[in-house]
Amino acid sequence: MKTPLVSCLTILVFLCSIAKGVQSDSNPAPSNVAGSQYPSLDSERRGTFEIKAPEASNVQVDLPQGNYDMQKGEEGIWRVTTPPIEPGFHYYSFRIDGALVFDPGSHAFYGASRHGSGIEIPEPGVDFYDVKDVPHGSLRSQLYFSSVTNSWRHLFVYTPPGYDLNLDQRYPVLYLQHGGGEDETGWVNQGKTDRILDNLIAEKKAVPMLVVIANGNLPRPEGIPFGYSLEGMVPFSEELLENIVPFIDENFRTEAKASQRALAGLSMGGGQSFIVGLANTDTFGSIGAFSTGLFGGIRRSGPFDAEAFVPGFVTQAETFNEKLEIFYLSCGEQDERIEFTQQVVSDFREHGHELAFNSFPGGHEWQVWRKSLRDFAQRIFR
Amino acid sequence: MKTPLVSCLTILVFLCSIAKGVQSDSNPAPSNVAGSQYPSLDSERRGTFEIKAPEASNVQVDLPQGNYDMQKGEEGIWRVTTPPIEPGFHYYSFRIDGALVFDPGSHAFYGASRHGSGIEIPEPGVDFYDVKDVPHGSLRSQLYFSSVTNSWRHLFVYTPPGYDLNLDQRYPVLYLQHGGGEDETGWVNQGKTDRILDNLIAEKKAVPMLVVIANGNLPRPEGIPFGYSLEGMVPFSEELLENIVPFIDENFRTEAKASQRALAGLSMGGGQSFIVGLANTDTFGSIGAFSTGLFGGIRRSGPFDAEAFVPGFVTQAETFNEKLEIFYLSCGEQDERIEFTQQVVSDFREHGHELAFNSFPGGHEWQVWRKSLRDFAQRIFR
């Protein structure tokens, strides 16, 4: 027979193990600032968010998947544990008595036209954008002069491992464009382009290449309404063809020919890549459009009129097939754009176009774009 | 005699000019995200801050110079115009019903152990950190492997204009460390190191050099309390001497000798530079400590015991004079550290040390550190 002391100890050990179990299952998110315990994620990807707001009467956390009311606890700290969050990167904010604001616990990311909180949710079994024990390239932050805006503008250039040593080698170049409400930091901080390329190159799944990540936000020409149009695309087209590509060819050891240049982008950048890329197949030999709304959606009714955006696209498919090495579309499987993207893939193929299409689990979000980049980068420059 | 109509018109024009004057005098801060009107600054450097918080009962903006109550206006928008703000870069936050949070209108910066709002206040007549029409260097983001943390760590390397073209040229290197609660992004985003060097080099006021900006946050050895000590400095010292310097010398075209290496830092980084730099004059021929609290202040009473941190410092000043090209201290004139910094400058000179000292208007803040870097960079490698 156990003594009361042993029983008490057994209960104590049991209670401690519960407490420990609950704690050890939940860890700070990888996107937290150093030392910050919240937001935390448990093994089911449930997020616990916390914010101190002693005098507030109503606090929510706003995630892409929904808004969650937080409960006030001791010392004015509000907290909520959400249902499981989809793997990948998500913007979020707090709403404190109606004010949309950002979390002191998280690093900040520029997107959705603000520089605010983001949370990284690891995807089980997915490590292609992790920092691994492989040779690492370099990411250069660089100013160049724009004749379009008459000002210095900023871009990033990823150079692969060995670029500074193999001085006789010249490299192909992928030009990679961000989405609306983002800037050139998107493919770096959210997209993890450098880590994706490091890993692909180490595994010999992609050839060593430069990746140029420029700011695709340019002033709209006067009188041109919001939305995709040939006229609206002129400033971006000029910036890319007359400023960015020449700057890169002059300052980096590139293979300066169409077969060794690709243009791709996500969402708005996908529309830019489609319109400007297909109009300039003498400059770009491969084109990728990830999750673009160009082909339909909210602002357009009726089927996508490819000929209006790319003269000759419907009538001279063979010309494009001859010029293009890779013509690639992708979309998230839960993105509202998936339906009309699949429709144009079918239409384009009916017109005689050779194109690759892939889809990935997820909505209009970075996890889809990371996977699109990984997929596209393996296909080009072969 | 004027007609009543003319009088009315005169008054109308006068009223319009007042209204226009008020509006055109205030502009979005340079640190705002694209399209954001607030915070705004008028010609007297008064800041107007705005945040929508319909249900809040108490909203303040917290600036280094003080906290200001905001007033609720139409549509739940809170607003305040502050007294003039000191030129330079300042962290700030909103306090909404007791919650410390960040402004959707501003870009975010990592500092004070959080990644939150910052505001840039232009200083009249000061343009040494502006983007000018000069050749621009490149800022490389780079991973290296640390034997101290047994993990990949991140640093930036500024390469001057021409680095990629002048392949026979080797360059001196300035190692530049951030302060406490900051990381390696501080000297880039707040410090504008690349622009300062671009401009100095263009004016031939500094020699072309590399600048290495690494993360100086390393785990404290077990049992070592917070604060400066020789034992506490071991991990940083090992990281710098055994990992960072060798990585840079192997991967960049450096002049790998003490006379062509400088070590400098701000606040915590100034303490690191003083202790590790002076203990390693065979590696670093120039040392700069900006605004460091090492010499006194909050956590120490009595005079600074230099000999305890740098054996031989008091007794063998001549050895240091022979080995060091530049030994430099600086501090903000309104920084609480100015008094004991001036005291040690006097003490060190009494011991026989040759050292340069400069001070700049401002407190413990980036405007002082930008000016310290500009000053220090002109003195080294001559």
Query: In the prediction, which pLDDT does A24 show?
Result: 57
Q: Which of A87, A121, A155 is the last residue of a domain?
A: A121
Same-domain status, B196 and B272: yes
As a whole number of Å, the CA-based R_g of chain B is 24
Q: How far apart are CA B14 and CA B154, in angstroms?
A: 58
User: How far B227 CA lies from chain A's nearest CA (Å)?
Assistant: 18
Residues B280 and B348 in one domain: yes
Please check whether residue B8 lies inside any domain of the structure: no
40-59 of B, contacting A, C-beta below 8 A: 51-59
| Chosen from A97, A157, A158 to mutate, greatest number of chain B CBs within 10 A | A97
Asked if residue A244 and residue A96 are part of one domain, the reply reads no
In this prediction, residue B227 carries a pLDDT of 82
Q: Is B112 on the interface with A (CB under 8 A)?
A: no
Q: What is the pLDDT of residues A306-323, one digit of tens each?
A: 998 999 999 999 999 999
Q: Are residues B332 and B203 in the same domain?
A: yes
Contacts with A, B 186-205, CB within 8 Å: 194
Residues of chain B with pLDDT under 70: 1-24, 297-301
Chain A residues near residue B104 by CB distance under 8 angstroms: 93, 100-102, 114, 116
Residue spans of chain A under pLDDT 50: 1-23
If asked whether residues A336 and A361 sit together in one domain, one would say: yes
Quote the tokens at residue B305: 């015991």
Of B288, B272, B285, B266, give the one whose Cα is nearest residue B364. Answer: B266
Identify whether residues A329 and A283 lie together within a single domain.
yes
3-state secondary structure labels for all residues of chain A: CCCHHHHHHHHHHHHHHHHHHHHHCCEECCCECCCCCCCEECCCCEEEEEEECCCCCCEEEEECCEEEECEECHHHEEEEEEEECCCEEEECEEEECCEEEECCCECEEEECCEEEEEEEECCCCCCCCCCCCCCCCEEEEEEEEECCCCEEEEEEEEECCCCCCCCCCCECEEEEECCCCCCCCHHHHHCCHHHHHHHHHHCCCCCCCEEEEECCCCCCCCCCCCCCCCCCCHHHHHHHHHHHHHHHHHHCCECCCHHHEEEEEECHHHHHHHHHHHCCCCCCCEEEEECCCCCCCCCCCCCCCHHHHCCCCCCCHHHHHHHCCEEEEEEECCCCCHHHHHHHHHHHHHCCCCCEEEEECCCCCHHHHHHHHHHHHHHCCC
In this structure, the number of other CB atoms found within 10 A of the CB of residue A253 comes to 16
CATH number at residue A85: 2.60.40.10
Find the helix or strand (DSSP H, E) in which B249 lies: helix B245-251
> Rounded CA gap, A207 and A163, in Å?
13
Last residue in a domain, options B121, B152, B181? B121
Look at residue A23 in the predicted model and tell me its pLDDT.
46
- The verdict on residue A56 lying in a domain is yes
B93-96/B66-69 β-pairing: unpaired
Q: Is residue B178 located within the same domain as residue B313?
A: yes
Last residue of a domain, one of B121, B146, B174: B121
The reply to whether B216 and B300 lie within a common domain is: yes
Q: How far apart are CA B68 and CA B46, in angstroms?
A: 12
CB B78 within 8 A of CB B70: yes
Q: Which CATH number do you get for residue B265?
A: 3.40.50.1820
**Pick from B52, B58, B101: which is nearest to A94 by CB?**
B101
R_g over Cα of chain A: 24
Query: What is the least distance, in Å, from the CA of B259 to any CA of chain A?
Result: 25
3-state DSSP helix/strand/coil % of chain B, to nearest 5:
30, 30, 45
Neighbours of B144 (CB within 10 A): 18
**Within a domain: A6:** no
- Domain of B71 in residue numbering reads as 25-121
Contact flag B140-A140 (C-beta cutoff 8 Å):
yes
* B321 found inside a domain: yes
Shared domain for A279 and A157, answered yes or no, is yes
Pair (A174, A247) in one structural domain: yes
The pLDDT value recorded for residue B301 is 66
**Which two structure tokens, joined as six digits, stand for B198?**
């671009």
pLDDT digits (tens, 9 = 90+) for B233-277: 999 999 999 999 999 999 999 999 999 999 999 999 999 999 999
In 3D space, the residue among A195, A107, A212, A109 whose CA is nearest the CA of residue A154 turns out to be A212
3-state secondary structure of B301: coil
Check CB contact of B115 with chain A, cutoff 8 Å: yes
Q: Would B5 be classed as within a structural domain?
A: no
Tokens 């550290």, located at residue: B337
Residues B100 and B150 placed together within one structural domain of the fold: no
Q: What single-letter amino acid sits at A194? A: D
- B88, B334 Cβ separation under 8 angstroms: no
Interface membership of A102 toward B (CB under 8 Å): yes
Residue-wise pLDDT tens digits, B57-72: 999 999 999 999 999 9
What is the model's pLDDT at position A16? 40
CB-nearest to A104 from B35, B101, B142 is B101
Residue A266 has a pLDDT of 98
The dihedrals phi and psi of B284, each to the nearest 5 degrees, come to -120, 120
A126 is a domain residue: no
Q: Are B39 and B63 in contact (CB under 8 A)?
A: no
Distances (CA, A) of A298 to A64, A275, A288, A308, A366: 19, 19, 22, 18, 21
Do A139 and B140 make contact, defined as CB atoms within 8 angstroms? Answer: yes
In a domain, B20, yes or no: no
How many distinct structural domains can be found in chain B?
A: 2
Asked whether residue B103 falls in the same domain as residue B215, the answer is no
ipTM topping 0.85: yes
The answer to the question of residue A194 being in a domain is yes
